[in-house]
Amino acid sequence: MHTIDDILALPEGERAELIDGEMFMMATPTRRHQKTVGWLYAMIFHHIMRKGGKCEVDVSPFAVFLKNDRWNYVEPDVIVTCNRDKLDDQGCHGAPDWVMEVLSPSSVVMDCRRKLEAYRSAGVRAYWIVDHRKETVTIYDFEGEDKEPKVYGFTDVIRSGIVEDLELDFAQLQEYLR
């Protein structure tokens, strides 16, 4: 069983995540992946700054000590944390409120199964999975009554349930990626 000490001991430039003590190495993301992550971060950041919101948005690589234990460590693509007491220079200690992952071919099983369950059990309030191949955004609202995810297309405007008055227009993302 691995611990966060094993993550911290990785050679410079190597990245991995831990879920319940099992280590998973991370592949280098593509340019399209990074542009999507950057767009998401920018839209959320600028909205929070304009509105004076209490939440903070962070972008990978950013350490999330998911269950605030030695066996769970992830680096989600984008996170929003509304309880700033969880944040310090090392990262986020405990579950963020909102996690967004952009799928890569190598991350489908990790993001859609392992992380889905890890985020749900850790207390993440909302989990969005952005899939370029299918041009969808799958949203899990772990606080809501409806246990089934909602799936939106890249032509939809999607309202955040975490950041007040935030709507993300995924048609703008499509235009940005062209």
| pLDDT score of 106 | 86
Q: Which amino acid is at 108?
A: V
Residue 6 and residue 15: Cα distance in Å, rounded?
11
| pLDDT score of 52 | 84
Q: Which of 15, 44, 43 is nearest to 28 (CA)?
A: 15
* Residue 160: Cβ within 10 Å count: 19
Q: Write the Ramachandran bin of 138: left for phi over 0, alpha for psi from -120 to 50, otherwise beta.
A: beta
With a pLDDT cut of 70, the percent of the chain lying above it is 100
Burial of residue 135 (number of CB atoms within 10 Å: 0-12, 13-18, 19+):
middle
| pLDDT score of 146 | 75
**Residue bearing tokens 């030695």:** 70
| pLDDT score of 145 | 79
- Average pLDDT value for residue range 60-86: 96
| pLDDT score of 9 | 95
Higher pLDDT among residues 147 and 125, named by residue: 125
- Average pLDDT value for residue range 49-72: 93
Q: The whole model's pTM is what?
A: 0.94
Provide the pLDDT confidence category of residue 105 given band limits of 50, 70 and 90: confident
Residue 114 and residue 118: Cα distance in Å, rounded?
6
- Give 11-25 pLDDT, tens digit per residue: 998 999 999 999 999
Provide the pLDDT confidence category of residue 103 given band limits of 50, 70 and 90: very high
